[in-house]
Chain A
Amino acid sequence: MTDADLLSAFATGDRSAALELTQRLTPRVMGQAFRMLGNRAEAEDVAQEAMMRLWKIAPDWDAERALVTTWLYRVVANLCTDRLRKRGRGVALDAIEEPADSAPSVAAEMQDSARITALRSALADLPDRQAQAVSLRHLEELGNPQIADIMDTNVRTVESLIARGKRALIAKLAGRKDELGYDDDNG
């Protein structure tokens, strides 16, 4: 059965369809949320909220209009963008302590961690559609045609959103070259 078939069965009261959908979709939803947020508790909240929205929309689901997974990608991307925005900016990076052990591997690990934190923060500063396009391309590793479906637009627009989004990210991160290793001279 397809996801849409199961959703339709759930809408008519079939609990086992909900169980099947939960097992199929939660790992994907949780994965996307965790990659964007980097925090397990917050990712679980987003996953639960996205699935709740799925249960609620079940009676009105139009299988001709979109795939369930496509719809979920969009919902999770929106929820995560909202959360990143609410977190505030640069807090996590400022809170990073100096490594007690100055071995290069530890320092490099700290810089990797700082870079990831800074990238999430920079993603949150992007306009919504740029942030969604960039995260679907580079975190979910989806093709541009699928991203276009998810974002309800065309491939050329997706390409443009991704290109502008990446340029904006590099510009934001370049100002912190000492911490992160980006070069701000060539932005």
Chain B
Amino acid sequence: MMTTDNEKLLEQTFAQMVAQDAPLSEGLMDRIMFDADQVLTERMPAVEASPEPMQGFGAALLDAIGGWMSFGGLTAAAMTGLWVGVFPPDLIYDYSTGVWGDTIEVPLLESDVFSGLEG
């Protein structure tokens, strides 16, 4: 056999290798996409997470009054009430007097209050 025959045999063997099937499996495609997802997850900055929700009694109380918006309204109302209590405008004084009557002072700790009742 001549050297050229060896070359032919070599090329024939290469041709047989080329003709071999390369079966593709779904599993391979899935693994490759899994790797792509992993690389993507590692590379991309983490999506900014929402703040950790409040836990416990504070959260329950806040929920009970309707959340932060309601808490703000409640605070404003409380401050207004305090202001009106300390420095009542004349209009409110007149109105409360008309409804509840005038104020009287009762000395609770003085003995003559009770002695008068004993008759």
Q: Do A and B bind each other?
A: yes
Are B29 and A26 closer than 8 Å at their CB atoms? Answer: yes
Is B115 in the interface zone, CB < 8 Å from A? no
Q: How many residues of B contact A (CB 8 A)?
A: 32
- Near A by CB (< 8 A), chain B positions 1-45 give 1-3, 5-7, 9-11, 13-14, 16-18, 20-25, 28-29, 31-33, 35-37, 39-40, 43-44
Q: Give the nearest-CB partner of A166 in chain B.
A: B10
B interface SS class: helix
Task: Note all chain B residues with C-beta closer than 8 A to A180.
Answer: 9
CB–CB A30/B33 < 8 A: no
- Between A and B, how many residue pairs show CB distances below 8 Å? 111
Are B14 and A55 in touch, CB under 8 angstroms?
no
Q: Are A26 and B32 in contact (CB under 8 A)?
A: yes
Contact A55 B36 (CB under 8 A): yes
A116-B16, A139-B14, A166-B10 known; A15 vs B24 contact (CB < 8 Å): no
Tell me, rounded to whole Å, the shortest Cβ–Cβ distance linking B18 to chain A: 6
Give the residue name and chain of the A residue nearest to B31 (CB): A48
Smallest CB separation, A60 vs chain B (Å): 11
Q: Show 27 residue pairs from A and B whose CB-CB distance is below 8 angstroms, ordered by the A residue.
A: A10-B36, A10-B40, A13-B44, A18-B33, A18-B36, A22-B29, A22-B33, A26-B29, A27-B22, A34-B22, A34-B23, A35-B18, A38-B17, A44-B25, A44-B28, A55-B40, A115-B9, A116-B17, A119-B10, A138-B14, A170-B10, A174-B6, A181-B9, A183-B1, A186-B3, A186-B6, A187-B6
Known A19-B33, A52-B35; 6 more pairs at CB < 8 Å? A26-B29, A30-B28, A35-B17, A116-B16, A119-B13, A138-B11
Q: Give 9 closest A-B pairs by Cβ, nearest first.
A: A183-B1, A18-B36, A34-B22, A138-B14, A31-B22, A55-B39, A186-B3, A51-B32, A170-B6
